[in-house]
């Protein structure tokens, strides 16, 4: 309970130990949420729990590989046993491989698919089992502009993100058919400054980087928090997401041509890849070191998304537009009246 006797919100966040998931943990924690922290890395989870407690929330650590359904189910049961009914479930956990398709091994491709796609399926399944029985709750799928516009060197990740859109749309239709009060929102992201580009498996000749423009994870976290508390089918964050999704809808062939020319260089830094950095594809790397929310691109990253702000403040913008129109009309009427009286 909070200080006013109201039940604090119960939230589960996958991928909670780092990157966008870690920033989202903080966004909910500072509003007093009780959070189930799901990830694999012990050090990252321990620090995430400390973050929650320092911001006024409560948390339990749940070391889980979301590609295993039984582990996700057990984690959900533990959250409800500890904190009560789950109000919000955020699916964010993933892994990736940076490489041309023909350099990805079958087991690597399968692993990305199992974590990044089936991990969302499992999280959604265990959340819906509980939420539909109570006829309330919210699921937020953390997506990507790459769920609509695939890019080279990330075929496994792009395929999984497309698949998330597909199964989420199907479930949304079923919930509408059943007249359920449970809601699902997808938040489609731009490039984000996270440890993904440090701990993702990288077979490219140079170190990986997000395709600019890059946004700080806190921008995304606030959008996710907003999406968890508003009825919206999909939320796009970042001007690049807006341009990418709109452009791909009308000119997909141009996108193919453009990315064939720019998609390799834009994903690589100037620094050579020594292939000595551990990756988290099969095992976590944040077992004895906390990577936090941010990656290596703080000096290049934006801390605002005007597009997301506009989507989250439509009522205010409509009121401003109405007021501006009224002032314009009044000005025109006064001018016309003066001319008529002249």
Catalytic residues: 157
Q: Which of 161, 87, 91, 83 is nearest to 124 (CA)?
A: 91
Would you say 191 and 216 are in contact if contact means Cβ atoms under 8 Å apart? no
Q: For residues 289-314, b (16+ Cβ closer than 10 Å) or e, as one string? A: ebbbbbbebeeebbeebebbbebbee
CA–CA distance, 249 with 148 (Å, rounded to integer) = 8
Q: Give how far the C-alpha of residue 299 lies from the chain's centroid of Cα atoms, to the nearest Å.
A: 22
Q: How far apart are CA 286 and CA 284, in angstroms?
A: 6
- Compute the Cα dihedral for 223, 225, 228, 230 and give only its sign: negative
Q: Which is it for the CA torsion 21, 23, 27, 29, positive or negative?
A: positive
Can you tell me the distance from the alpha carbon of 279 to that of 96, in angstroms, rounded to the nearest whole number? 10
Q: Is 279 left (phi over 0), alpha (psi -120 to 50) or beta?
A: beta
Q: How many CB atoms lie within 10 A of CB 145?
A: 24
Supply the DSSP symbol for 189. Answer: -
DSSP structural state of residue 55: T
Burial class (CB in 10 A: 0-12, 13-18, 19+), 42: middle
Q: How far apart are the first and last CA of the chain?
A: 69
- The structure tokens 């650590």 sit at 61
Helix residue ranges, H only, 251-305: 252-262
Tokens coding 66: 């979301």
């Amino acid at each position: 309970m909070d200080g006013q006797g109201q039940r604090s919100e119960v939230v589960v966040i996958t991928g909670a130990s780092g990157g966008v998931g870690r920033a989202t943990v903080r966004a909910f924690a500072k509003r007093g949420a009780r959070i189930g922290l799901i990830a694999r890395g012990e050090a990252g989870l321990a620090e995430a729990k400390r973050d929650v407690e320092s911001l006024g929330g409560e948390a339990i650590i749940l070391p889980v590989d979301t590609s295993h359904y039984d582990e996700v189910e057990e984690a959900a049961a533990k959250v409800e046993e500890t904190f009560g009914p789950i109000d919000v479930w955020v699916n964010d956990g993933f892994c990736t491989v940076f490489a041309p398709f023909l350099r990805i091994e079958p087991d690597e491709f399968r692993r990305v698919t199992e974590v990044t796609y089936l991990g969302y399926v499992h999280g959604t399944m265990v959340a819906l089992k509980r939420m539909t029985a109570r006829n309330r709750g919210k699921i937020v799928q953390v997506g990507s502009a790459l769920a609509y516009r695939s890019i080279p060197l990330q075929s496994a990740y792009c395929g999984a993100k497309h698949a998330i859109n597909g199964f989420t749309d199907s479930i949304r239709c079923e919930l509408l058919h059943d007249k359920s009060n449970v809601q699902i929102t997808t938040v489609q992201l731009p490039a984000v400054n996270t440890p993904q580009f440090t701990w993702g498996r990288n077979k490219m000749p140079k170190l990986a980087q997000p395709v600019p423009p890059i946004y700080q994870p806190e921008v995304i976290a606030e959008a996710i928090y907003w999406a968890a508390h508003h009825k919206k089918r999909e939320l796009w964050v970042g001007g690049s997401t807006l341009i990418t999704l709109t452009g791909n809808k009308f000119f997909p062939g141009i996108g193919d041509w453009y990315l064939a020319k720019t998609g390799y260089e834009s994903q690589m830094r100037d620094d050579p890849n020594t292939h000595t950095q551990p990756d988290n594809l099969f095992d976590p790397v944040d077992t004895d070191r906390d990577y936090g929310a941010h990656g290596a691109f703080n000096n290049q990253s934006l801390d605002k998304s005007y597009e997301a702000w506009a989507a989250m403040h439509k009522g205010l913008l409509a009121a401003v537009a109405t007021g501006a129109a009224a002032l314009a009309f009044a000005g025109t009427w006064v001018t016309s009246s003066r001319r008529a009286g002249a």
